[in-house]
Amino acid sequence: MISFCSGRLLAPALTDHDVAMTATSTTARPGPLSGLRVIELTGQGPGPYCGMILADYGCDVVTVDRPGEVARVDTSKVPTNPMLRGKRSIALDLKQAADVELLLSLLDEADVFIDPFRPGVCERLGVGPDVVCARNPRLIYGRMTGFGQDGPLAMVAGHDIDYIALSGALSLLGRAGEKPTPPINLLGDFAGGGLMLALGIAAAAFERSVSGLGQVIDAAMVDGAAVVAAPFMAASGGGWGPRGTNHIDTGSHFYDTYACSDGEYIAIGAIEPQFYAELLARLGLSSDEYPQWDRALWPALKEQMTAVFAAKSRAEWCELLEGTESCFSPVLSPAEAAQHPHNVARGTFVEINDSLMPAPAPRFSRTPAAARPPVHLGTSTDAARQGTLWD
């Protein structure tokens, strides 16, 4: 049985991982999307996150950063931003005609362009899809916005919380009787935004292998968040109750987190009857007193279960339940997660430039992805100006 407890790490700290996952060469780029050249205009979270995924998958990703941002970089410190890993960076002032022309020349030889701005910004800069795609018909032009390229709110400012609210997804999140709770900016920016755009780019690249043509991708976080929440959008139309009252949204006693005596938390997800039965057996509880699907009893059973788990520390519950068929896990911090024996065995986390990062996912059998070190902003500017960026 695997066991983990805070303060008693069962595995050594991560250092170097498998060579295929931590290749440091900027020329050798294994991965399922190896060979694709990507230009990314630097923006906030979802755009760089999309670029990170593409870099992990083998793309040659070049970010275009503002000269002012590059000037502020402290080059005495190693770069540790995971969303810059595996990328190169050039500094261009897109308010200057010469730099716009340089960007256009780079896009002539690129496969993908990531536009992270509101609709119309790239058009005003002179690098909109009408211009760029006319010069390079094979280019995949990915546009990352909150509300999309059209519609009444297309030009309105917003952030993750606004996009997932409008998508309907935020209304599903939270405990019964409490206000909706945003899951930081995971659902809109990263799942519905950057990850969805990366999927769209991979799909467009496959289609281009048939047609020979690129296309424009309109990736709106409102749309993406709605797609991520699709199963629950359908369920909300019938049989799915208000938030926090259903079996997997903290409404039940067998799918929730619980506080332990040491202030740490554990997670229980014993949905299937055989797993629920094992959970009860290991807790010494009777199925007659803890009927699983009597929804009217869920609030009372949750109170009782809360008292049960509060009686022992997280470490004690790990000793009793971890690795069993009771659907149990300790709730770990990121630092603790990197030390858990299962994650260590799989190399789920890597250490790059003394910074802990998740390893690329998913795993590919023939063309493994690779988490390469990030670089300082602006380090490839000279190569771009000398015309050797793609050499």
Quickly list H helices, 109-215.
Answer: 121-125, 129-135, 160-167, 196-211
Q: Distance between CA atoms of 217 and 200, rounded to whole angstroms?
A: 7
Residue 246 lies in a domain: no
Asked if residue 306 and residue 207 are part of one domain, the reply reads no
Residue 298 sits in a domain of what CATH number?
Answer: 3.30.1540.10
Clarify whether 342 is annotated catalytic: no
Q: Distance between CA atoms of 90 and 390, rounded to whole angstroms?
A: 13
Q: Distance between CA atoms of 319 and 141, rounded to whole angstroms?
A: 52
**How far apart, in Å, do the first and last CA atoms of the chain sit?**
52
Residue 21 lies in a domain: no
**What is the arithmetic mean of pLDDT over 22-38?**
70
pTM: 0.90
Residue 87 lies in a domain: yes
Residue 336 lies in a domain: yes
Residue 56 lies in a domain: yes
pLDDT at 153 over 70: yes
pLDDT at 174 over 70: yes
pLDDT at 12 over 60: no
Asked if residue 191 and residue 334 are part of one domain, the reply reads no
pLDDT at 219 over 90: yes
pLDDT at 155 over 50: yes
Q: Distance between CA atoms of 1 and 287, rounded to whole angstroms?
A: 25
Residue 82 sits in a domain of what CATH number?
Answer: 3.40.50.10540
Clarify whether 189 is annotated catalytic: yes
How many domains in the chain? 2
How many Cα neighbours within 13 Å face the side chain of 275? 15
Spatial contact of 139 and 113, defined as CB atoms under 8 Å apart: yes
Summarize pLDDT for 336-357 with one digit per residue, the tens. 999 999 999 999 999 999 899 9
**What is the arithmetic mean of pLDDT over 151-175?**
96
Q: Distance between CA atoms of 91 and 105, rounded to whole angstroms?
A: 15
* 179 vs 235 pLDDT, higher one: 179
Asked if residue 166 and residue 57 are part of one domain, the reply reads yes
| Residue 224 vs residues 19, 183, 388: alpha-carbon distances, Å | 34, 15, 37
Q: Distance between CA atoms of 122 and 125, rounded to whole angstroms?
A: 5
Asked if residue 105 and residue 76 are part of one domain, the reply reads yes
Asked if residue 202 and residue 120 are part of one domain, the reply reads yes
Asked if residue 169 and residue 76 are part of one domain, the reply reads yes
Asked if residue 273 and residue 175 are part of one domain, the reply reads no
Is the previous residue joined to 362 through a cis bond, with omega within 30 degrees of 0?
yes
Q: Distance between CA atoms of 83 and 156, rounded to whole angstroms?
A: 26
Count helices and strands (H / E) in the chain: 15, 11
Asked if residue 201 and residue 89 are part of one domain, the reply reads yes
Residue 7 lies in a domain: no
Residue 244 lies in a domain: no
What backbone phi and psi angles, to 5 degrees, belong to 358?
Answer: -65, 145
Asked if residue 377 and residue 332 are part of one domain, the reply reads no
Residue 111 lies in a domain: yes
Q: Distance between CA atoms of 174 and 182, rounded to whole angstroms?
A: 8
Quick one: pLDDT at residue 25? Answer: 36
- Give the range of the structural domain holding residue 312, as residue numbers without chain letter: 255-344
Spatial contact of 339 and 10, defined as CB atoms under 8 Å apart: yes
pLDDT at 20 over 80: no
Summarize pLDDT for 101-139 with one digit per residue, the tens. 999 999 999 999 999 999 999 999 999 999 999 999 999
Asked if residue 377 and residue 286 are part of one domain, the reply reads no
Q: Given 189, 223, 249, 256, which residue is catalytic?
A: 189
Asked if residue 142 and residue 53 are part of one domain, the reply reads yes
Q: Distance between CA atoms of 230 and 306, rounded to whole angstroms?
A: 31
Asked if residue 109 and residue 60 are part of one domain, the reply reads yes
